[in-house]
Amino acid sequence: MPFNTELTRKLGIKIPVVQGGMQHVGYAELASAVSNAGGLGILTALTQPTPEDLRKEIRRCREMTKNPFGVNITLLPALQPPDYGAYAQVVIDEGVKVVETAGNSPGPVITKLKKAGIIVLHKCTTIRHAQSAIKLGVDFLSIDGFECAGHVGESDITNFILLSKARQTLRVPFIASGGFADGQGLAAALCLGAEGINMGTRFMCTAEAPIHRAIKETIVRAQETDTALVMRRWTNTTRLFRNGVTDAVVRIERESATGEFAEIAPYVSGKRGREVFVNGDPEFGVWTAGQVIGLIHDIPTCDELLKRIEKEAEETLTAKLSLAKPQSKL
């Protein structure tokens, strides 16, 4: 039973699975492996120091796969923000057909991409934000439930409700993100109205993910309770793997009289987080992980993982259809 959803048709992929654009993870090695396996691999633009570095990474990825892949452009609050327009222009110049956008005030970037005929998939944590993105002309929405890794928003709505609400209210196709690791999850998302799923943490724990094996083994050992929410005090709530660093941040948030972000800044340093993936010490800094870590038990190749997900989803959907058929009388 080959998959035939709006996502597979429009993106030209075989399996309706998108690899999330993850900082310090979304390099050509992983993106090309996901695309070669039949999903949509994603390069992370801001993992590259400059737009020209992104150009080189796009070309490197193209040498590693002939299948479609995309680029993630996440707009983050910063005193000196990156030149998002320049990153978007590189994507356009290099002929990339799909971009995943996320973050604050994406309008100018989305407008630029849409004028170039690029398919835009925008990540949202609320229906209200999704409706705003629709007005900008996005092609797909990625609906991120509270289970997800990274920025979870401030509404704390899990995917079971959020996806059903999206099905009831949105007029643009959407995919489900947050809490997905297997074919049963894909089948459930399709039944709730999604056109596919986005997976981040699950793809971190694959052979091709360019991070230290010790971190992958940490994910395999972890339980669904081993994440922490930080920075809620500054309405920038983020789900991270729980370790001594996140415990310190949570303690400062709870006990600080001043509420100055500077108090936690050294703990949530992106540089320290990147070093985690290089040195393999899960306690060295903060790193993102979703509650789905409790469902991950091995470190397969991307090809093995997507073949398994495809088979599980087909078997699950077929079994449910057979149960729905009226039974013949004896």
* pLDDT tens digits for range 109-162: 999 999 999 999 999 999 999 999 999 999 999 999 999 999 999 999 999 999
Rounded Cα distance between 311 and 68, Å, is 22
Q: What was the pLDDT predicted at 270? A: 83
Q: What was the pLDDT predicted at 125? A: 94
Averaged pLDDT, 216-228:
98
pLDDT digits (tens, 9 = 90+) for 273-324: 899 999 999 999 999 999 999 999 999 999 999 999 999 999 999 987 666 6
- Lookup: tokens for 240: 């991270």
- Evaluate whether the domain defined by 6-210+298-318 bears CATH number 3.20.20.70: yes
pLDDT digits (tens, 9 = 90+) for 191-203: 999 999 999 999 9
Percent of the chain with pLDDT over 70: 97
Rounded Cα distance between 109 and 21, Å, is 16
pLDDT digits (tens, 9 = 90+) for 83-97: 999 999 999 999 999
91-to-9, 94, 173 alpha-carbon distances in Å: 22, 5, 23
- Lookup: tokens for 256: 């600080």
- Lookup: tokens for 308: 């398994």
Beta strands in the chain (DSSP E): 17-19, 41-44, 69-75, 98-103, 119-124, 140-144, 150-151, 174-177, 197-199, 227-230, 238-241
pTM of the model: 0.94
Q: What was the pLDDT predicted at 326? A: 65
On whether the CB atoms of residues 204 and 30 are closer than 8 A, the answer is: no
Instruction: Parse the chain into domains and list their residue ranges.
Output: 6-210+298-318, 227-288
Q: What was the pLDDT predicted at 14? A: 97
Q: pLDDT class for 104, splitting at 50, 70, 90?
A: confident
Look at residue 327 and tell me whether its pLDDT is greater than 80.
Answer: no
Contact partners, residue 185, CB within 8 Å, separation at least 6? 179, 197
> Which residue, 227, 139, 212, is CA-closest to 178?
227
> Which residue, 178, 131, 187, 183, is CA-closest to 159?
178
Q: What was the pLDDT predicted at 303? A: 98
**DSSP-derived 3-state class of residue 26:** coil
Q: What was the pLDDT predicted at 2? A: 78
Alpha-helix runs per DSSP H in 41-144: 51-64, 84-93, 107-115, 127-135
pLDDT digits (tens, 9 = 90+) for 231-241: 999 999 999 99
Rounded Cα distance between 316 and 318, Å, is 5
Q: Which amino acid is at 86?
A: A
Averaged pLDDT, 10-38:
97
On whether the CB atoms of residues 204 and 211 are closer than 8 A, the answer is: yes
Q: Which of 10-19, 32-41, 162-171, 321-330 has the lowest mean pLDDT?
A: 321-330
Q: What was the pLDDT predicted at 259? A: 81
Q: What was the pLDDT predicted at 260? A: 87
Q: What was the pLDDT predicted at 322? A: 67
Q: Are β-strands 197-199 and 41-44 bridged in parallel, bridged antiparallel, or unpaired?
A: unpaired
Q: What was the pLDDT predicted at 325? A: 63
- What one-character DSSP code corresponds to residue 231? -
Q: What was the pLDDT predicted at 1? A: 61
